[in-house]
Amino acid sequence: MTAFAGLAEGFVHALSPANLGWGALGVTLGTAVGVLPGIGPALTVALLLPATYGLDPTGAFIMFAGIYYGGMYGGSTTSILLNTPGESSTIVTALEGHQMARRGRAGAALSTAAIGSFVAGTLGTLALTVAAPTMAQLAIAFGPAEYLALIALAFVATATLLGDRPAAGALSLMTGVVLGLVGIDRLSGEARLTFGVPYLLDGLDPTIVAIGLFAVGETLSLAADPIGATSVLPLERSRWMTRDDWARSWKPWLRGTIIGFPLGALPAGGAELPTLLSYAVEKRLSRHPAEFGHGAIEGVAGPEAANNASAAGTLVPLLTLGLPASATAAVLLAAFQQFGLQAGPLLFQHEPQFVWTLLASLYVGNVLLLVLNLPLVRLWVQLLKVPAPWLYGGILVVASVGAWSVHRAAGDVIAMTAIGLLGFALRRGGAPLAPVMIGVMLGPAADMHLRRALAVGDGGWASLVDRPLAGALWAVCALLIVAPPLWRRGRAGTPVRPPAS
Amino acid sequence: MPRRARTAAGWTCAAAIALGAATAAAQSLTIVAPAAPGGGWDQTARALQHAFTTADPASPIQVENVPGAAGTIGLARFVSAERGRPDALLVTGLVMVSGIVATRSVVSLGDVTPIARLTGEDEVIVVPASSPHRTLQDLITAFRREPRRVSWGGGSAGGTDDLLARLLAEAVGVAPADVNYVAFSGGGEALAALLGGQVTAGVSGLGEFAQSLAAGQLRALAVASPERVAGLDAPTLREAGVALDLANWRAVVAPPGLSDAEAARLADRVRRVVQSATWRETLARTGWTDLHLDGPPFRQFLLAEQARVEAVLRRLDANRAPATSSWTPTSATLPRLAIAVTLALLAWHAWQRRRGDDSRDEPSVPQAGHVRVAAIVGAALFHAVAQPILGFVPTATTVFVAGAFALGSVRPRRDIAVGLAVTATVAMVFAYGLGVPLPMPGAAWRR
């Protein structure tokens, strides 16, 4: 059976009225739960899993697809409106998304996120349909040395995020690395930087760092400076995307998809790397680089697309190898087992009908998400009409619940508050906050992959570069460092416009 | 007709989730999974929830995830917060036994009430299909000749897979510290490294490798169980000449402070569920072995496993030394480097400011600003500490009111009213919509 004939049959199963009903219910429940603080897609799916026990597999998986996409989009909503990312994949969205909201452009931010998610989700599912087995082979070739080179590439690409004072940016970055390293080292099992505090053994969850820095830190900044407090959130009249917004969004959607899907397919997946890379790429390519940090729509469109495309990519190792690359995928794997299905290399042979129906239901879930959420944008932005004192009081409550729900521990709320103070201090000192998150997300990963690569190569440093793929990635890395200055010198005749402050 | 009935059941369940299940206190149960959703403990907890619910649809069964540090964070919280509750279970297993030693946890499995061992997962040693090692003997020969050249991929450091690799080394006369064990986050990621030929051999639960073994991508060299596994063409370690067996078992325990009668009642409830058809289906589906054991024999088993694991880990700790051929970074390298660089940058930054040539810094905070910042920080810390005693609603309202005050509100009474409404709504949604209750007043003192 060819891919498209199989898919057509899958659609026949997925598009029955009852199944569409399950999909709509899933999207609604998923969005509703995903909006709640601290409840990411993995927990959303796990919590709603029992609701599908009574269904037949097709109905259940269409509902899952709805819950999954709904939960992911719900997290973006809180990131944009309240600056409290519900999980690590929407941290980058908060950077520009909330700035847009503060400038009265919440409607445009939510719309570009929804449409970008739809575009990336659909293209990602398409790529999954035609290229899953090939992608899986590539993903397996990706060892620790390649990961390390990829992370180095990400560091170089995100260097522009350090801001116009590199020393202050570097201070933020290194602060992030230190925060990220706290906890038990996954390779040796040894505790690092925990100072004998049992709570710190598990490390600081990136979500808690982000909530502390963004939600709490910003509220503290506003509270300290009364002039800042009065300039919050006048809602713009047009709540929809303008023609200019469309023109500035469509390329980031596509680039985000191209970055997100293959990176999501890697076995050690996660949405942090693709969303960060997409953000950095958009900033480099944007014609309005000075707008970044003050609500550039590209900075929402790209990462949101990358996030959804990487979610589709995660299904590559899950379906072809039975390998869950994210917490959500692990829950999905458990759900497969619930229905007596073994994900893995034999799934395509043994259960072709199931695979195609699942893929079809992913397309359907995507469409349903867009249909449900675009009208909801109007409703959500009303939230920002709440007077500033109550809005920020509410943000603090949501942040506390969100931090607490991660481990159900008081320590998380204390950590969030302490990191909020740290963010406040950094901001006061003129240091940017985005590099802190880069440090938290990439620093420990770089450490782990470096040491793992050396262990696999038994301590030989040459093993880091002597594989072709790793070597190629390092070469791109070097090119990114060397090329821009040379290029700029080549164009020395044309004056470079200084960035607006 | 069955389809329609199923559909109706699905709707009912969905409605129950959405609107909140009715609470019947008599048969309620909270199952704590000390891990994130998706892992083995979480799957065990949710499979138990499924089996309990099928047996008695009226009783509300909740699963709580408290992830972290090989389950010791969940264990610590379980021991302190659920003390004396006869309707709470914690999922545990071999990984927690070694986690307690590795993390130097102050609470241990001696602090809980043992209920029952449930399942076991067979450990298997595999190589990629293209590997030159045809049998376990081939692998061991290569391992003895050059221990560091053989890399073992498996789950997290100090876990069952790590333990098995080092016990195997000891059994064949290689120093456990010489094992080049490469830890991945879970057997799934190790599988990718195996298929990509990045590690020599893989050690993990059979479930992680079963599909790839069936597809012929991997070759099983031995299973670590006492007897052969049905449907798998591989000898046991003992048959292959290594006197060793190890299974990754999982169990449930109850909070401390239960009477013998209460513990026996819980063990009865678990036994009935373990004998149910639903549980059998789960076992068949997941490939878990039924290792149900309760009462005094389980108590003795738990003590024996603790002693065995502690002894092994102590022997490993005694001769843990890097044995690579050249200098490589250790777990302490990057933390030291990062702190040094951060401090250097901080000093440089302070010096720059001292010189006063940086006009881009924001103006200093006014006196009133300090008060407002302190109000928020104070309220948040009060919320963190007092939430288990006073409950979520009053302390979160404090946070709301402090935030509103700090942002310039001058009408505290209205703030309190709005704060109570907001926090009560959040609490209702979490408790009834999700079945994840936020702390209630007096939760810390509940019997």
DSSP result, B139-208: HHHHHHH-GGGSEEEESSTTSHHHHHHHHHHHHTT--GGG-EEEE-SSHHHHHHHHHTT-SSEEEEEHHH
Instruction: For chain A, give the mean pLDDT.
Output: 83
Q: Where in chain B is the domain with CATH 3.40.190.150?
A: 18-120+248-316
Q: What whole-number distance in Å separates Cα of residue B218 and Cα of residue B187?
A: 14
CA angle A105, A106, A107 (to 5 degrees): 90
**Tokens representing residue B335 in the block:** 């933390």
Say if residue B3's pLDDT is above 90: no
Helices (H), ranges, A270-351:
272-285, 298-321, 327-338, 347-350
Q: A389: pLDDT confidence band, cut at 50, 70 and 90?
A: confident
Backbone dihedral region of A469: left (phi > 0), alpha (psi from -120 to 50 degrees) or beta?
A: alpha
Mean pLDDT of A108-134: 89
Helices (H), ranges, B187-324:
187-195, 206-214, 260-274, 277-286, 296-318
Q: What whole-number distance in Å separates Cα of residue B313 and Cα of residue B315?
A: 5
> What residues of chain B, 378 to 417, have a C-beta less than 8 Å from chain A?
379-381, 383-385, 387-388, 392, 396, 399-409, 415
> What residues of chain B, 132 to 161, have a C-beta less than 8 Å from chain A?
148-149, 151, 156-158
Q: Lowest-pLDDT range, A15-29, B40-54, B361-375?
A: B361-375
* CA distances, A405 to each of A409, B17, B41, B430 (Å): 8, 18, 19, 10
Buried b (16+ CB within 10 A) or exposed e, B322-345: eeeeeebeebeebbeebeebbeeb
Instruction: For chain B, give the mean pLDDT.
Output: 82
Cβ-Cβ contacts under 8 Å for B130 (sequence gap 6 or more): B197
Cβ-Cβ contacts under 8 Å for A371 (sequence gap 6 or more): none
B119 phi, psi to nearest 5 deg: -135, 165
| pLDDT at position B204 | 87
Quick one: what percent of chain B has pLDDT higher than 90? 24
Say if residue A300's pLDDT is above 90: yes
Say if residue B13's pLDDT is above 50: no
Q: What whole-number distance in Å separates Cα of residue A323 and Cα of residue A344?
A: 7
Higher-pLDDT residue of A278, B65: A278
Closest CA relative to residue A29, chosen from A15, A11, A43, A13: A43
Task: Please give the tally of structural domains in chain A.
Answer: 1
| pLDDT at position A236 | 58
Residue of B334, B409, B414 for testing the chain A interface, max A β-carbons within 10 Å: B334
Tell me whether residue A495 is in a domain.
no
Residue of A146, A211, A452, A466 for testing the chain B interface, max B β-carbons within 10 Å: A452
Tell me whether residue A290 is in a domain.
yes
Mean pLDDT of A39-52: 74
**Four-residue CA torsion sign, B389, B394, B399, B405:** negative
| pLDDT at position A234 | 58
Q: A496: pLDDT confidence band, cut at 50, 70 and 90?
A: very low
Q: What whole-number distance in Å separates Cα of residue B192 and Cα of residue B199?
A: 10
Mean pLDDT of A412-428: 92
Fold of B18-120+248-316: D-Maltodextrin-Binding Protein; domain 2 (3.40.190)
Cβ-Cβ contacts under 8 Å for B445 (sequence gap 6 or more): B389
Cβ-Cβ contacts under 8 Å for B99 (sequence gap 6 or more): B69, B70, B71, B72, B105, B158, B159
Q: What whole-number distance in Å separates Cα of residue A111 and Cα of residue A297?
A: 10
Mean pLDDT of A414-438: 90
| pLDDT at position A79 | 87
Q: Lowest-pLDDT range, A11-20, A112-121, B221-230?
A: A11-20
| pLDDT at position A493 | 53
Cβ-Cβ contacts under 8 Å for A112 (sequence gap 6 or more): A241, A245, A249, A297, A300, A301, A304
Tell me whether residue A187 is in a domain.
yes
CA dihedral B170, B173, B176, B179 (to 10 degrees): -120
Chain A residues touching B372 at Cβ < 8 A: 223-224
Closest CA relative to residue A50, chosen from B28, B3, B429, B57: B57
Q: For residue B358, what is the enclosing H or E element? A: none
> What residues of chain A, 443 to 462, have a C-beta less than 8 Å from chain B?
443, 447, 450-452, 454-456, 458-461
Q: For residue B238, what is the enclosing H or E element? A: none
| pLDDT at position B127 | 95
CB B157 within 8 A of CB B103: no
Helix axes B296-318, B160-171, angle to 10 degrees: 70
At residue B224, the 3 state secondary structure works out as: coil
Say if residue A495's pLDDT is above 60: no
Residue type, A349: Q
**Where is mean pLDDT largest: A49-63, A163-177, B130-144, B230-244?**
B130-144
* CA distances, B109 to each of A176, B75, B162, B315 (Å): 35, 8, 21, 21
Closest residue, chain A, to B421 (C-alpha) = A394
| pLDDT at position B356 | 66
Residues of the domain holding A465: 3-487
ipTM of the shown complex: 0.82
Higher-pLDDT residue of A452, B102: A452
CB B377 within 8 A of CB A417: yes
Higher-pLDDT residue of A426, B76: A426
Mark yes or no for CB contact B342/A174 under 8 Å. yes
| pLDDT at position B324 | 53
> What residues of chain A, 143 to 202, have a C-beta less than 8 Å from chain B?
143-144, 165, 167-168, 170-171, 174-175, 177-178, 181, 183-193, 198-199, 201-202
Q: Across the interface, which of B7, B217, B331 has its CB nearest the CB of A18?
A: B7
Helices (H), ranges, A408-459:
410-428, 434-456
| pLDDT at position B68 | 67
CB A345 within 8 A of CB B215: yes
> What residues of chain A, 399 to 428, have a C-beta less than 8 Å from chain B?
400-401, 404-405, 407-411, 413-414, 416-417, 420-421, 424, 427-428
Strand partners, A317: none
Q: Lowest-pLDDT range, A1-5, A363-367, A494-498, B315-319?
A: A494-498
Tell me whether residue A27 is in a domain.
yes
Distance from CA of B386 to the nearest CA of A (A): 9
Q: Lowest-pLDDT range, B76-90, B353-367, B374-388?
A: B353-367
CB A132 within 8 A of CB A317: no
| pLDDT at position B15 | 45
- Give per-residue pLDDT as tens, A230-249: 455 556 555 678 888 898 99
Quick one: what percent of chain A has pLDDT higher than 90? 18
Closest CA relative to residue B188, chosen from A332, A442, A350: A332
Q: Is B73 on the interface with A (CB under 8 A)?
A: yes
Say if residue A179's pLDDT is above 70: yes
Tell me the helix, strand and coil percentages in chain A, rounded to 5: 75, 0, 20
* CA distances, B258 to each of A213, B79, B88, B263, B264 (Å): 43, 12, 11, 6, 10
Tell me whether residue A500 is in a domain.
no
Mean pLDDT of A318-323: 80
Give the burial class of A165: count Cβ atoms within 10 A of its Cβ; 0-12 exposed, 13-18 middle, 19 or more buried: middle
Q: Is B447 on the interface with A (CB under 8 A)?
A: no
| pLDDT at position B136 | 94
Residue type, A295: G
| pLDDT at position B397 | 95
Q: Across the interface, which of A323, A388, A396 has its CB nearest the CB of B188?
A: A323
CB B220 within 8 A of CB B131: no
A–B CB contacts, 8 A cutoff, strictly below: 400
CB A80 within 8 A of CB A94: yes
Quick one: what percent of chain A has pLDDT higher than 70? 93
Mark yes or no for CB contact A50/B18 under 8 Å. no
Tell me whether residue A496 is in a domain.
no
The two beta strands, B289-294 and B201-205, are unpaired
Q: What whole-number distance in Å separates Cα of residue B212 and Cα of residue B187?
A: 12
Distance from CA of B423 to the nearest CA of A (A): 7
- Homologous superfamily, domain B122-247: Periplasmic binding protein-like II (3.40.190.10)
Give the burial class of A367: count Cβ atoms within 10 A of its Cβ; 0-12 exposed, 13-18 middle, 19 or more buried: middle
Mean pLDDT of B34-50: 80
Q: Where in chain B is the domain with CATH 3.40.190.10?
A: 122-247
Q: What whole-number distance in Å separates Cα of residue B231 and Cα of residue A347?
A: 19
Size of chain A, expressed as the number of residues it contains:
501
Closest residue, chain A, to B371 (C-alpha) = A224
User: What's the distance, CA A163 to chain centroid?
Assistant: 22
- Give per-residue pLDDT as tens, B229-282: 888 889 999 999 898 888 888 999 998 888 888 889 888 888 988 888 888 888
Q: What whole-number distance in Å separates Cα of residue B48 and Cα of residue B66?
A: 17
Q: Is B111 on the interface with A (CB under 8 A)?
A: no
Say if residue B377's pLDDT is above 90: yes
| pLDDT at position A30 | 85
Q: What whole-number distance in Å separates Cα of residue B149 and Cα of residue B145?
A: 9
Q: What whole-number distance in Å separates Cα of residue A157 and Cα of residue A280?
A: 6
CB B257 within 8 A of CB B82: no
Distance from CA of B125 to the nearest CA of A (A): 18
Say if residue A163's pLDDT is above 80: no
Mean pLDDT of B371-397: 92
CA dihedral A279, A283, A285, A288 (to 10 degrees): 140
Say if residue B200's pLDDT is above 80: yes
Q: Lowest-pLDDT range, A213-217, A231-235, A437-441?
A: A231-235
Q: What whole-number distance in Å separates Cα of residue A37 and Cα of residue A13?
A: 35
Q: Is A62 on the interface with B (CB under 8 A)?
A: no
CB A242 within 8 A of CB A291: no
Mean pLDDT of A464-486: 85
Higher-pLDDT residue of A409, A445: A445
Q: Is B215 on the interface with A (CB under 8 A)?
A: yes
Chain A residues touching B79 at Cβ < 8 A: none
| pLDDT at position B187 | 59
Say if residue B221's pLDDT is above 90: yes
Helix axes A388-407, A410-428, angle to 10 degrees: 130
* CA distances, B40 to each of B35, B46, B93, B215 (Å): 8, 10, 10, 23
* CA distances, B266 to each of B50, B110, B170, B261 (Å): 17, 18, 40, 9
Mark yes or no for CB contact B157/A185 under 8 Å. yes
Mark yes or no for CB contact A322/B188 under 8 Å. yes
Q: Across the interface, which of B211, B388, B403 has its CB nearest the CB of A322?
A: B211
Mark yes or no for CB contact A430/B188 under 8 Å. no
CA dihedral A170, A172, A177, A181 (to 10 degrees): 150
Q: What whole-number distance in Å separates Cα of residue A92 and Cα of residue A276?
A: 6
Q: Lowest-pLDDT range, B318-327, B387-396, B399-408?
A: B318-327
